[in-house]
Structure 1
C-alpha cells in the first residue's frame, strides 16, 4: 500500500515546499530555477518529464521504514493507553468513548512521531531532491546530517510535528470510534463500517491540522542544504509561530494549505485500509485468546 501511494507523497511534499504557484501575483518573480507546480496531475507529469519515473518514488526507503515502525508504536501505545485508562478509572467510572479515544490517540501519535521522526525528515529531504542529488544514499544522508547539523538536525520541525500529531490522532480516533459502530449497522457494499469511518476520520482530522504539517515540511529542509533542493527559493524559517506568520504574510492563508487535496487523496484510502486491517487483526487475536482460555479450562 505504501509503495502504491508513494508518488502522491512526493507530489504533496513538492507542493508543500513551493512558496509560489502560477496563480500568485508574485509568480513573475525570478525563482532562481525552481519549478512552479500547479495541481496534482501536472506535478506528476513535471516530475516524470524532468526526473524520470523513479522520481515519483524518491524517499520511499526511509518512508517504508518509518511507516512500519510508526504503525507498530502507534497501535501498541494506543492499546496500552486505553487499557491504562480502564485501570485508572475502572469500568464503573470510565471516560466517555470520545474522550478516551482522543487521549489514547493523542498519546499514540506523539509516541510514534517522536520515535520515528528522523526517518520522516529523511523521507522529506529525499522527496525534495531534484536532479541535483543532495544525498547519494540513505547511509550518506545520515552521516552528512550528523556531521553538518548534529543530532538535533534529525529533529528539525519536531515541535510542529508534535503540535500537529496530538490533535490529529486524537480527533482521528475520537471520530473513528464514534462513527465505526453506527456505520457498521448500515448495509455498505464492502461489508463493514471500519473503512468508511477511517476515511471520514482521516479527512476531518487531516484538514484541521494540515497547516502544521506544511510548517513541519518547510522547517525539515532548513539547514546547509536548503538551497539545493528542487525548490531553490525555499525561504529561511525559524520556529513554528514565526514560520506560520511568514507564510501568511507572503502567501496568505491559502499558503498554509498547499498540497491539501493530494494529501487527502493519499491519506483517506491509507487510513481505510489501516483501520480495516487493525480491527480484523484485533478480532483475530481476541478470538485466539478466548480459544486458548477455553482449551486451558477444558
Structure 2
C-alpha cells in the first residue's frame, strides 16, 4: 500500500515546500532555478520528465520504515491508553466515548511521532532533493546530519509536528469511534462502517491541521542543505508561529494549504484500509485469546 501511494507523497512534499506564490510575477532571480509546480498531475509529469520515473519514489525507504514503526507504536499506545483509562474510571465515572477516544488518540499520535520522527525528517529531505543529490544514501544522510547538525538536527520541526499530531489523532479517533457504530448498521458494500468512518475521520482531521503539517515540512529542510533541494529558494524559517506569519505574509493564507488535495487523496483511502484492517485483526485476536479486558476497550 505504502509503495503504491509513494508518488503522491513526493508530490505533496514538493508542493508543500514550494515557497513562491503562483499569482505573483516570477523571475529567475527569485526562483533561483526552482521548478514551478501547478497541480498534482502536472507535478507528477514534471518529476518524471526531469528526474525519471524513479523520482516518484524518492524517500520511500525511510518512509516505509517510518510507516511500519509508526503504526506499531500508534496502535499499541492507543490500546494501552484506552485500557488505562478504563482502569482509572469505573463504569459510573467513565469518560464519554468521544473524550476517551480523543485522549487515547492524541497520546498515541504524540508517542508515535516522537519515536519515529528522525525517519520522517529523512523521508522529507530525500523527497525534496532533485537531480543534484543532497544525500547519496540513507546511511550517508544519517552520518552527515549527525556531523553537521547534531542529534537535534534529526528533530527539526518536531514542535509543529506534535502541535499537529495531537489534535489530528485526537480528532481522528473521536470522529472514528463516534461514527463507526452508526455506520456499521448501514448496508454498505464492504460490509461494515469501519472503512467509511476511517475515511470520514481522516478527511476532517487532516484538513483541520494541515497548515501545521506544511510548517513542519518547511522547517525539516532548514539547516546547511536548505538551498540545495529542488526548491532552492526556500526561505529561512525558525519557530512555528514565526513560520506561519512568514508564509501568510509571502504566500497569503492559501499558502498554508499547498498540497492539501493530494494529501487527502493519499491519506483518506489509506486511513480507511488501516482502520478496517485494525478492527479485523483486533477482533480476530480477541476471538482467539478470549481477552475480556481487550474487548471492553473496543
Q: TM-score with structure 2 length normalisation?
A: 0.96
Deviations 1:104-152 (A, max 9, x none): 0000000000000000000000000100000000000000000000000
Distance (Å, rounded) in 2 between the aligned partners of 1:67 and 1:101: 22
Q: Pairwise mapping of residues 250-289 of structure 1 onto structure 2 (< 5 A)? A: 250-289=250-289
Residue of structure 1 equivalent to 2:169? 169
Q: Say if 2:112 is the partner of 1:112.
A: yes
Unmatched tracts of structure 2, length 5 or more = 293-298
Distance (Å, rounded) in 2 between the aligned partners of 1:195 and 1:104: 20
The list of structure 1 runs, each at least 4 consecutive aligned residues, that deviate by more than 6 angstroms after superposition, is: none
Residue of structure 2 equivalent to 1:295? none
Q: TM-score with structure 1 length normalisation?
A: 0.96
Distance (Å, rounded) in 2 between the aligned partners of 1:17 and 1:174: 30
CA drift of 1:21 comes to 4.5
Residue of structure 1 equivalent to 2:26? 27
Are the aligned partners of 1:97 and 1:177 in contact in 2 as well (CA < 8 Å)?
A: yes
Distance (Å, rounded) in 2 between the aligned partners of 1:224 and 1:48: 27
Are the aligned partners of 1:198 and 1:268 in contact in 2 as well (CA < 8 Å)?
A: yes
Distance (Å, rounded) in 1 between the aligned partners of 2:174 and 2:47: 37
SS of corresponding position for 1:266: helix
Distance (Å, rounded) in 1 between the aligned partners of 2:51 and 2:96: 51
SS of corresponding position for 2:290: helix
CA drift of 1:92 comes to 2.3
Distance (Å, rounded) in 1 between the aligned partners of 2:25 and 2:84: 53
Distance (Å, rounded) in 2 between the aligned partners of 1:98 and 1:82: 12
Q: Pairwise mapping of residues 220-239 of structure 1 onto structure 2 (< 5 A)? A: 220-239=220-239
In structure 2, the CA distance between the partners of 1:69 and 1:291, relative to structure 1 (3 Å rule), is closer
Q: Say if 2:96 is the partner of 1:96.
A: yes
CA drift of 1:26 comes to 3.8
CA drift of 1:27 comes to 2.8
Pairwise CA RMSD: 1.1
Identify which range, 154-163 or 27-36, moves more after superposition: 27-36
SS of corresponding position for 2:72: helix
Distance (Å, rounded) in 2 between the aligned partners of 1:26 and 1:186: 52
CA drift of 1:246 comes to 0.2
Distance (Å, rounded) in 2 between the aligned partners of 1:28 and 1:177: 50
Distance (Å, rounded) in 1 between the aligned partners of 2:113 and 2:193: 27
Q: Say if 2:78 is the partner of 1:83.
A: no
Residue of structure 2 equivalent to 1:134? 134
